[in-house]
Structure 1
Amino acid sequence: MDLKRLTATSCLVLGASALPVLAQEDTSSLCAGAGAGAQWVGGTQDASDIASAADYLGLTGNIPAGGQLTTLFTVSSPMMVRLEAQPTDAGDTVIDLLDATGTVIMSDDDGGGFLASRGEISVDPGTYCLVTSSYDGADMMAELRVSRLEQEALTVGEDTGGYGAACSAETEASPFYPDGALDSALEDGVARTASINAEPFYRFTLDGMQSLSITAENPEADPVLSLYDESGLLLAENDDFDGLNSRVDFIDGLAAGSYCIALDSLGDANVPVTVTVSAFSEEQYMQGLYNNAQASPPLDGSYPVVALGQLETRMRRDIRDGDDMVWVSFDVAEPGLVLIEGIATAGNDPMLTLFDDLGRRLDQNDDYGETYDAQIAARVNPGTYMLAVGRPGGYYGTPGVTRLAIERFVSAR
């Protein structure tokens, strides 16, 4: 992940007024390292608590080609927050929200309407990183905003604050589990399959607190998944967690009550979509992050990682990609620069994502220049590095072979 500081021309926006960008504090340890070089959305950490802010917090900044713009905010009490990113001119934003552990807990592409991004999520007290990137990897400017739901929104969105229609107590919805409360069936999981046009809403109940996951799967439909409580409050929303499939997780649990699953389609709303509600599985959740290159797997042998060994001058390897990312590792003995190329063959569309051995994403690239080839150039120090090779989201492009080339350069002596 290419975490860069805002350009000198960027300005901080607090409420409706503009202020100069304030000096940055050391953020390198935040969000498990993802906050390195990031900008506090309020200018300083003390001014970036959205729970106590008098107005929304926001800034306008540059997203460099192939890189990201990372902003930080804090929450001092449990609450719903709204996260938004909107291109100031041309471009298409994508946002990811990371918690203090560096885990992606929300992602969105076009939830703000048109090519803007938007999502609402319930968060606990802590520090969060909002990572904004360009969908096509192009250089662009974007306006970002963090707000409470009662504060002014940046994007148009929908009346629900997201996709489709909200689900209230009066909304007609099909019973997801006709046999009663879901609690006893969560271990094995319950699934329903229908087109989104046929079944846009499902309702289920819980008798007690349950940690669970909800998925909506069929990339042809590109489903958007939302969950509402019985009062019609949006609890979580997701698009494209795993490829074009969607997923929301309630790790700390959902309380006893009635809930409504709302579905919308960004693709074909007439194809069957499988919705599954199951007990939360840490293993499956992390597997999804690895398959989407949102986190790097461990190097303890519990997950397949091809060790390429010491990078002396140049390595070459052909990688056959599929629905899951292929992970490789290589070792660097001295400081320098590595150039990594993923060359497309037979019409495939490779993506590269580079991590260090602590799991910090250093950079990601899909289409470099005017081709489907991917390329990363990164400064490195001695250590082990991990590289994910595959198609973006696992579903874009044609399955094929990616010709991987890794070269090492050192400073002239």
Structure 2
Amino acid sequence: MNLKKLTVTSCLLLGASALPAMAQDDTSALCGGSGADALWAGGTQDMSDISSAEDYLGLVGNIPAGGELTTLFTVSSPIMVRMEAAPTESGDTVIELQDANGMYILSDDDGGGFLSSRAEAQLDPGTYCLVATSYDGADLLAELRVSRMEHETLTSGSSGGYSAVCEPSTEATPFRPEGALDSVLAEGISSTNTISQTPFYRFTLDSTQSLSITAENPNADPVLSLYDDFGQLLAENDDFDGLNSRIDFIDGLQAGTYCIALESLSDEFAPVTVTVSEFSEQQYMQNLYNMADASPPLDGSYPVEALGTLDTRLRRDVRDGDNLTWFSFEVTESGLVLIEGIATAGSDPMLTLFDDLGRRIDQNDDIGGSYDSQIAARVNPGTYVLAVGRPGGYYGTPGMTRLAIQRFVTAQ
């Protein structure tokens, strides 16, 4: 649902009296390509450090149909950061946070209340990309805001933020009554209950552990949050894998007591499986591949079908499933590639195109008011990687996508 290029029709610096001149730094390599043509939240890189900003930072800009609007900001010292997006008139925003290397950190759809987006996270020093898209792929004008917790909010939040807030006095079900989770993280430990029945779990760690927490059942559309023993929000996620949620603590969660808070954005009586397990780099990367947030390597460690050299036109029928289907193809001279995903038998495909270095070139979901998808991209000689399918899988009956890739060369 992201395009590498965007056109900003209205860009206003918020929280300041005027808009400084835009920085001329090359940001194209930031955030796996999402930084290309992105705007600094404070107008320039020097003015975009949210750790020291006197007020919130942000902008108003256009999210083109099927595209994205990205703002960059920096963190100079560890701090809790609030990130928000809201349509200025109509529409439904979705936000995603990436670090400078393009690694996914979090995403949110309606955490800001109604159709606005909002998420809070403790961030370490570095550069970050806040990427906003339109949920239905429609063109919309949106405001993006990055702030500290004491700054004014853009959105009201879901009941002032997600309602499932875990404070020290909140009653919570022990996730493992036998004791700390350290000894069972390698195999993982799960609990399945409805959110209406069990909205909170508590667990303890005896030592620092790199771990992952997931909440799964798309019928419930769970929101997953983690609080420390003082009631401080540490991380939050809505839709990581389709409508399922996931939080990763790659650098480790310190010894202590923690509270998992759950909220359902759909059916609160649907059973949700919550799992806490040892962080797996392999599983983490596979999830990124299956969400088209990153492209897999071409070394044979992940299934990618090589289509060979694209001379004129290739066609494939791709069966829809829970995982994206990946293809690679070669281009021998500069020109234009037209890729079409034709929806058949109830399919709703999405296409995502990367170059061989993993830079996302283009992405498209629905075009021309249909469920078909289409990418037209200028290409140079090289290898290209294409994802076909619905990130997070299909919740109805899977269908079939008719894939067509056609190459055009410049007239001589």
Would you say 1:4 and 2:5 are equivalent positions? yes
Aligned residue for 1:411? Answer: 410
For structure 1, the 5+ residue unaligned runs are: none
Would you say 1:324 and 2:327 are equivalent positions? no
Would you say 1:102 and 2:102 are equivalent positions? yes
Rounded Cα–Cα distance in structure 2 between residues aligned with 1:117 and 1:342 = 29
- Structure 1's 366 and 85: CA in aligned 2 closer, same or farther, altered over 3 A? same
Aligned residue for 2:285? Answer: 286
Aligned residue for 2:213? Answer: 214
Rounded Cα–Cα distance in structure 2 between residues aligned with 1:66 and 1:20 = 29
Shift of 1:330: 0.9
Shift of 1:14: 3.3
Would you say 1:145 and 2:148 are equivalent positions? no
Rounded Cα–Cα distance in structure 1 between residues aligned with 2:399 and 2:375 = 20
Rounded Cα–Cα distance in structure 1 between residues aligned with 2:322 and 2:6 = 34
My pick for the range that moved more, 170-179 or 368-377, is 368-377
CA deviations on 1:128-163 (whole Å, 9 max, x unpaired) are 1111111111111110000011111101104663x2
CA deviations on 1:317-369 (whole Å, 9 max, x unpaired) are 00011001010111111111111110011111111111111111111111111
1:10–1:21 CA contact under 8 A, matched in 2: no
CA deviations on 1:10-36 (whole Å, 9 max, x unpaired) are 223231534266254211222233312
1:217–1:245 CA contact under 8 A, matched in 2: yes
The one-letter amino acid of 2:229's match is: E
Would you say 1:388 and 2:387 are equivalent positions? yes
SS in 2 for 1:165: coil
2:208–2:255 CA contact under 8 A, matched in 1: yes
Aligned residue for 2:189? Answer: 190
The one-letter amino acid of 2:27's match is: T
Shift of 1:261: 0.3
Aligned residue for 1:15? Answer: 15
Rounded Cα–Cα distance in structure 1 between residues aligned with 2:188 and 2:332 = 47
SS in 1 for 2:292: coil
Would you say 1:273 and 2:269 are equivalent positions? no
The one-letter amino acid of 1:241's match is: F
- Structure 1's 320 and 197: CA in aligned 2 closer, same or farther, altered over 3 A? same
For structure 2, the 5+ residue unaligned runs are: none
SS in 1 for 2:47: helix
My pick for the range that moved more, 42-51 or 25-34, is 25-34
Rounded Cα–Cα distance in structure 2 between residues aligned with 1:113 and 1:63 = 19
SS in 1 for 2:342: strand
TM-score normalised by the chain length of structure 1: 0.97
Would you say 1:120 and 2:120 are equivalent positions? yes
TM-score normalised by the chain length of structure 2: 0.97
SS in 2 for 1:386: strand
Rounded Cα–Cα distance in structure 1 between residues aligned with 2:396 and 2:87 = 26
Aligned residue for 2:154? Answer: 154
1:3–1:69 CA contact under 8 A, matched in 2: no
2:241–2:391 CA contact under 8 A, matched in 1: no
Shift of 1:396: 4.7
Aligned residue for 1:26? Answer: 26
My pick for the range that moved more, 382-391 or 298-307, is 382-391
Shift of 1:188: 1.0
CA deviations on 1:198-242 (whole Å, 9 max, x unpaired) are 100000011111110000011111111000001111111101111
| Equivalence map 1:233-312=2 (5 Å) | 233-312=232-311
Rounded Cα–Cα distance in structure 2 between residues aligned with 1:63 and 1:21 = 22
SS in 1 for 2:383: strand
- Structure 1's 199 and 120: CA in aligned 2 closer, same or farther, altered over 3 A? same
- Structure 1's 46 and 16: CA in aligned 2 closer, same or farther, altered over 3 A? closer
Rounded Cα–Cα distance in structure 1 between residues aligned with 2:196 and 2:363 = 36
Shift of 1:293: 1.1
The one-letter amino acid of 2:319's match is: R
2:6–2:67 CA contact under 8 A, matched in 1: no
SS in 1 for 2:51: coil
Rounded Cα–Cα distance in structure 2 between residues aligned with 1:89 and 1:14 = 17
Rounded Cα–Cα distance in structure 1 between residues aligned with 2:244 and 2:155 = 24
2:85–2:118 CA contact under 8 A, matched in 1: yes
Aligned residue for 1:374? Answer: 373
Aligned residue for 1:51? Answer: 51
Rounded Cα–Cα distance in structure 2 between residues aligned with 1:116 and 1:147 = 16
2:56–2:152 CA contact under 8 A, matched in 1: yes
SS in 2 for 1:11: coil
CA deviations on 1:22-63 (whole Å, 9 max, x unpaired) are 254211222233312211111111111100111000100111
Which structure 1 residue ranges, 4+ long, deviate > 6 Å from structure 2? none
Rounded Cα–Cα distance in structure 2 between residues aligned with 1:364 and 1:92 = 18
Rounded Cα–Cα distance in structure 2 between residues aligned with 1:396 and 1:92 = 21
SS in 2 for 1:13: coil
Shift of 1:184: 1.1
1:3–1:70 CA contact under 8 A, matched in 2: no
Rounded Cα–Cα distance in structure 1 between residues aligned with 2:18 and 2:11 = 7
How many pairs does the alignment contain?
411
Aligned residue for 1:79? Answer: 79
RMSD of aligned residue pairs (Cα, Å): 1.4
* Aligned-pair identity (%): 73
Rounded Cα–Cα distance in structure 2 between residues aligned with 1:263 and 1:186 = 20
2:66–2:139 CA contact under 8 A, matched in 1: yes
